[in-house]
Amino acid sequence: MATTPASVDKHPLHPILVAFPIGLWMFSLVCDLMHQFGHDRMWSLMAWYAMVAGLLGALAAAVPGIIDFFAITDPRAGRVALLHLAINAGLILLFGVNAWVRTLLAPTSMVPLLLSVVGIAGLMVSGWLGGELVYVHRVGVARNGVAPGGATLRPIKRGKRAA
C-alpha cells in the first residue's frame, strides 16, 4: 500500500515543494546563458541568487521527501526511491559547490555554466524517477477509494464538467 505521511489535507508536500528548486535552478541556468551571451554581470549575480534560493527550496522539499521515503513498503518502489533520493542529494551538493565556486572564479569562467548544465541533466533524471514512483509504482496515490492515511474518497463522476 502506498502511503504519504508528509501531507496536509491529503495533499503530499514533496511534489508541491519540488517546484521551487526545479524552477529556480532552471532559471539560474537561463541567467547563466544570458550572462555568457550578453556578458552583463547582472545575469551572473541573478543566477547565483536563484541557485541559492533553489538550494533552500531543495532542502525544504527534502524533508517531506525523506519522510515519504521511509514510509515506502514495496521493495521495487523503494529501490527507485533510493536512487531518486541519492540523485537529489547529489544535486544539492553539486549546486552548493556551484554556488561556492562562483564566489572564487572570474565571472567569465565557463565552469559554473557547465556545472549548471550537468545539474539540470541530473534534475531531469531525478524527475523521471519521481514520476516513475507516482505513475508506475503508485506511491502516494489513492487505491480503491482510500487515500494514503486511510481517508475515504468520493468517486469521480465522469462525463460531467464541474464548471
1 pLDDT above the threshold of 80? no
Residue-wise DSSP of 35-78: HHHH--HHHHHHHHHHHHHHHHHHHHHHHHHHHHHTT---HHHH
* Cα-to-chain-centroid distance, residue 68: 14
Closest among 81, 83, 64 to 122, alpha carbons compared:
83
Asked if 154 contacts 17 with a C-beta cutoff of 8 angstroms, the reply is no
pLDDT digits (tens, 9 = 90+) for 68-118: 999 999 999 999 999 999 999 999 999 999 999 999 998 888 999 999 999
The confidence band for 20, taking pLDDT boundaries of 50, 70 and 90, is very high
Q: Where are the beta strands (DSSP E) in 17-158?
A: none
Q: Which residue type is seen at 92?
A: I
- At 148 the pLDDT is 53
Q: What percent of the chain has pLDDT over 90?
A: 71
Neighbours of 25 (CB within 10 A): 27
Mean pLDDT of all residues belonging to the chain: 89
Mean pLDDT of 150-161: 57
Asked if 61 contacts 23 with a C-beta cutoff of 8 angstroms, the reply is no
Distance (Å, whole) CA 122 – CA 93: 12
For residue 120, the SS3 value is helix
The confidence band for 152, taking pLDDT boundaries of 50, 70 and 90, is low
